[in-house]
Amino acid sequence: KWCIQRLDATPVITRRRSKVDADVAWERLVARPSTEAVSRFLLDIDSPRMFVEASTGAVREREMSLVA
């Protein structure tokens, strides 16, 4: 069973006149939710330990920053 998540970057485009507003919108609406979704996906695999152990440290580092 797959949990599908939809990300909509439209508000980022509408705020592009202000770089600060666009950057904040990008982080809040696209970057953070997509990173969290990928992290949840990677950690929900049947053998998450085996996958995380075999991965680079990037997944573990991101997981730690989400928990902190």
For residue 42, the model assigns a pLDDT of 81
Residue found under tokens 């705020």: 15
For residue 40, the model assigns a pLDDT of 83
For residue 18, the model assigns a pLDDT of 87
For residue 53, the model assigns a pLDDT of 47
Q: State the amino acid at position 31 in one-letter form.
A: A
The pTM score is: 0.54
For residue 32, the model assigns a pLDDT of 93
CA distances 13 to 22, 32, 45, 68, Å, are 7, 17, 34, 31
Please tell me the distance from the alpha carbon of residue 3 to that of residue 41, in angstroms, as a whole number: 9
Give the chain's residues under pLDDT 70: 1-2, 45-68
For residue 60, the model assigns a pLDDT of 54
